[in-house]
Amino acid sequence: MKKIIIFGSGGFFKEQFYWLKDSLKKKDYEILAIVSKESQSLKLFNVPIITEKEIPKSKNIFLYIAIGSINVRAKIIKKFYNYNFYTLIHPSAIVSKGARIGKGCIISPNTVIAGDPKVGDFNVFNFNSMISHDCVTGENNIFSPGSKVLGWCRMGNNNYLGAGSVMLPKTSIGNNNIIGANATLNRNFKNSLTLIGTPAKKYKIKKLRLATKYK
Ligand SMILES: CC(C)(COP(=O)(O)OP(=O)(O)OC[C@H]1O[C@@H](n2cnc3c(N)ncnc32)[C@H](O)[C@@H]1OP(=O)(O)O)[C@@H](O)C(=O)NCCC(=O)NCCS
């Protein structure tokens, strides 16, 4: 039996926990523990809580990051890069056979992965988001509910796409960008920007610089 260890105990975790359980129903996995600094109790949803130091390394242990902050996720990914990570594909998601999906991804309910996109490791597709044919993503991007990445788009790592945002076909973004809710990208943008509106414009340059490569 393979065992899953979950990072997180906040709101994002609470959503993820039930989706994760739905996706495990017919699989040979069980939830072993939750890693959390914050929780004062010994159990959450009846699952034991452990610290990072107590995470065993074994070929049967799979990690799962149920945390919505790109920065916190980035730290965990760097620290545990060589561990196994579980990819959640919710039974209600539509994933084309031609799609490639990396390790540690989350494909939430009603997500559509259409055609043949190459989705890198640790990408989070929240409910009702979609990515289309010929797209290529890096790692640790978050696609908020209802966000849409249309055909032939490219993106690097650590981008946050706000709810309802759209990348029009053949557009690209680099690394570490925040796309505001409902923004529409109709051209290419580089790194570390906050982009808002339709068509999207630079609102500010972020100081934050995260890893552009995890491997
Ligand atoms: C873009 C965003 C990150 C900016 O956050 P912020 O830096 O705290 O910015 P503020 O809220 O101070 O807003 C700054 C300005 O941008 C405008 N603005 C903010 N978000 C906007 C958006 N999505 N579209 C258009 N304008 C926006 C504000 O009205 C404000 O304008 P003003 O200076 O003329 O008053 C945030 O508003 C956003 O859209 N986040 C996405 C949230 C989301 O989708 N979450 C999904 C959760 S599941």
CATH of the domain at 173: 2.160.10.10
Which of 80, 111, 135 lies at the terminal end of a domain, its last residue? 80
Answer yes or no: do 104 and 190 share one domain. yes
Ligand 1 atom showing the smallest separation from residue 178 Cα: 3
Residue nearest ligand 1's atom 3 by CA: 180
Identify residue 105 by its one-letter amino acid code: C
* Predicted pLDDT at 44: 82
Residue of 3, 103, 133, 170 with catalytic role: 133
DSSP type of residue 34 = E
What is the CB < 6 Å shell around ligand 1?
A: 126, 144-145, 162-163, 178, 180-183, 194, 196-197, 203
| 215 occurs within a structural domain | no
* Predicted pLDDT at 96: 98
What is the average pLDDT across 49-54?
92
Q: How far is the CA of 180 from the centre of ligand 1 (A)?
A: 6
CATH number assigned to the domain comprising residue 54: 3.40.50.720
Q: Is 90 an annotated catalytic residue?
A: no
Structural domain harbouring 120:
88-199
Answer yes or no: do 116 and 63 share one domain. no
Task: For 15-50, write each residue's pLDDT tens digit.
Answer: 899 999 988 887 889 999 999 876 667 778 889 999
Name the strands in the sheet holding 142-143, side by side, starting at the edge strand that comes first in the sequence.
88-89, 106-107, 124-125, 142-143, 160-161, 178-179, 193-196, 201-205
Q: What is the pTM of this model?
A: 0.93
Task: For 100-132, write each residue's pLDDT tens digit.
Answer: 999 999 999 999 999 999 999 999 999 999 999
In whole angstroms, give the CA distance from residue 108 to residue 166: 18
Per-residue CA distances from 57 to 2, 4, 106 (Å)? 12, 12, 22
Answer yes or no: do 114 and 174 share one domain. yes
Q: How far is the CA of 75 from the centre of ligand 1 (A)?
A: 25
DSSP string, 162-187: PTT-EE-TT-EE-SS-EEPTT-EE-S
Residue nearest ligand 1's atom 27 by CA: 196
Answer yes or no: do 124 and 104 share one domain. yes
pLDDT at 208 exceeding the cut of 60: no
Answer yes or no: do 44 and 100 share one domain. no
| 24 occurs within a structural domain | yes
Which of 61, 80, 99 lies at the terminal end of a domain, its last residue? 80
Answer yes or no: do 42 and 102 share one domain. no
Q: How far is CA 103 from the centre of its chain?
A: 10
Answer yes or no: do 113 and 164 share one domain. yes
| 205 occurs within a structural domain | no
Residue nearest ligand 1's atom 5 by CA: 180
Ligand 1 atom showing the smallest separation from residue 195 Cα: 1
Residues whose CB is less than 8 angstroms from the CB of residue 116 and which lie 6 or more positions away in sequence, other chains included: 96, 98, 99, 100, 133, 134
In whole angstroms, give the CA distance from residue 192 to residue 179: 10
Answer yes or no: do 40 and 105 share one domain. no
Question: Which one of 160, 203, 207, 208 would you pick to mutate in the ligand 1 pocket, going by the greatest count of ligand atoms within 8 A of its CB?
Answer: 203
| 156 occurs within a structural domain | yes
Answer yes or no: do 152 and 173 share one domain. yes
| 192 occurs within a structural domain | yes
Which of 50, 80, 110 lies at the terminal end of a domain, its last residue? 80
| 142 occurs within a structural domain | yes
Query: What are the beta bridge partners of residue 7?
Result: 35, 65
Q: How confident is the model at residue 168 (pLDDT cuts 50, 70, 90)?
A: very high
